[in-house]
Amino acid sequence: MSVLSGKNILLGVTAGIAAYKTAHLVRLFVKAGAQVKVVMTPASKDFVTSLTLSTLSKNPVYSTFFDKGDEENEEWNSHVDLGLWANYMVVAPATANTLSKMANGVCDNLLLATYLSAKCKVYFAPAMDLDMYQHPATKQSIQKLQSFGNVFIPPSSGELASGLVGEGRMEEPENIISFIENDILNSLPLLNKKVLITAGPTYEAIDPVRFIGNHSSGKMGFELAKAAANLGAEVYLITGPSNEKISHSLIHRIDVVSADEMYSEVHKIYSKVDVAILSAAVSDYKPKYTAQNKIKKSEDTFTIELVKTQDILASLGKIKEKQFLVGFALETDNEIKNALTKLKNKNLDLIVLNSLQDKGAGFKEDTNKVAIIDKVEKISEFGLKSKAEVATDIFNEILNKIYA
């Protein structure tokens, strides 16, 4: 799976003959799993139609600040919203004219206004004739854009529209995709790191039909796995029974049922990981004996003798070497005190606390509200957020500790 999968790509198209290549570029972004929106300069429509790019991207194409319908239904195209939507912006082809305007803050069309509003990384792929590309003014524009943090995708050499041969051809779409993918991968903070994550509940069998379990859905652990993979890590996701789905080339899913199975799988992997986050809701107890056949309902009362399961988190804390170890604490009372005790007794680097007293937090919810506590008892509290956003907050805390 491409690192672009699930990302929002904003493609800026300017008025150069290489604009014809953008149809193929859009197709490749979509094939990589990205969501694509296109912003065109008005003059670029002389080289490629908005209908073509709209059809291929499956999104409207934007070129003006408002779409003229009838007088009562003119629709505003917000450059701010487009800039905030994008994970990455790509200007291809980037003509000498547009490069100069970008470098000097000129804002006379929707594409340039969107560029100036964008909060994401911006890539630009120049396309122009040989002499234009070699001109000191163009070189200065490119250098200035790079000094702003924009990423330059160098043009290739070959026959140009003028008939001259030399530098100035916009790089081929396949190479643009590869360039962006490699640049993203090389900038990811967890590239070449291994992360272990546990998720979901465990089920402890009473007989072949019944079990002891809990209401964990696994959503938090799965979001953590996605966040880790998006940061470049190779992820081992060990999950109890869960209906959650996940698909990512960097995520290895390992399904287990019981606490003993999870313990075994975690210990097989733990020695080779850099970060371990145990977010699974592991059963604290299991039946001492499991009936081989279904237990019949014959008595008014029924007693099951329970024994403790192995404490996976504590066992990892005892053998911890280079690993950064994170645990979860779901509490209903004395939250901070209980979390601090767990943090210390289990030799953790961080503990993520959430309380069932907080509305919107806990099992089966799409949201969570957490506090993150470190080894020096610094408490960082966060408001109610989606579990995807909580996963990002957790990894931000981890990265701040690892790279402090």
Q: Cβ(49)–Cβ(19) under 8 Å? A: no
Per run of 10 residues, the mean pLDDT along the chain (length 404 residues) is 87 96 97 96 96 96 78 72 95 97 96 96 95 95 97 89 83 96 92 96 95 93 95 96 90 97 98 97 95 88 93 97 94 88 96 79 79 94 92 96 82
DSSP 8-state class, residue 171: P
pLDDT of 68 reads 65
The helix/strand count (H/E) of the chain reads as: 13, 24
DSSP 8-state class, residue 201: B
Distance, in Å, from the CA atom of 58 to the CA atom of 307, rounded to the nearest integer, reads 56
Q: Which amino acid is at 11?
A: L
Q: How far is CA 259 from CA 9, 200, 263, 266, in A?
A: 42, 11, 6, 10
Distance, in Å, from the CA atom of 351 to the CA atom of 377, rounded to the nearest integer, reads 10
Of 259, 145, 240, nearest in space to 200 by CA: 240
Which CATH code of 3.30.1330.60, 2.60.40.10, 3.40.50.10300, 3.30.43.10 fits the domain covering 194-402?
3.40.50.10300
Sequence ranges of the domains in the chain: 8-187, 194-402
Q: Which amino acid is at 306?
A: L
DSSP 8-state class, residue 231: T
Distance, in Å, from the CA atom of 166 to the CA atom of 402, rounded to the nearest integer, reads 46
Q: Cβ(404)–Cβ(330) under 8 Å? A: no
Tokens representing residue 357 in the block: 């007293």
First to last CA, the chain: 31
Q: Cβ(15)–Cβ(161) under 8 Å? A: no
Locus of tokens 């004996």: 289
Distance, in Å, from the CA atom of 56 to the CA atom of 27, rounded to the nearest integer, reads 6
Enter the CATH code of domain 8-187: 3.40.50.1950
Per-residue DSSP letters for 48-96? S-HHHHHHHHTS-EE-SSEE--STT--EE--HHHHHHH-SEEEEEEE-H
pLDDT of 167 reads 84
pLDDT of 5 reads 85
pLDDT of 72 reads 57
The pTM score is 0.77
Catalytic, out of 77, 214, 338, 347: 214
- Angle at the Cα of 200 (from 197 to 203), degrees rounded to 5? 125
pLDDT of 69 reads 58
Mapping DSSP onto H, E and C, the string for 7-57 reads CEEEEEECCCHHHHHHHHHHHHHHHCCCEEEEEECHHHHHCCCHHHHHHHH
> How many CA atoms within 13 Å lie on the side-chain side of 306?
14
pLDDT of 15 reads 96
Distance, in Å, from the CA atom of 272 to the CA atom of 321, rounded to the nearest integer, reads 10
Overall size of the chain counted in residues: 404
Q: 8-187 and 194-402 share one CATH topology?
A: yes
User: Is 214 among the catalytic positions?
Assistant: yes
Summarize pLDDT for 262-277 with one digit per residue, the tens: 999 999 999 999 999 9
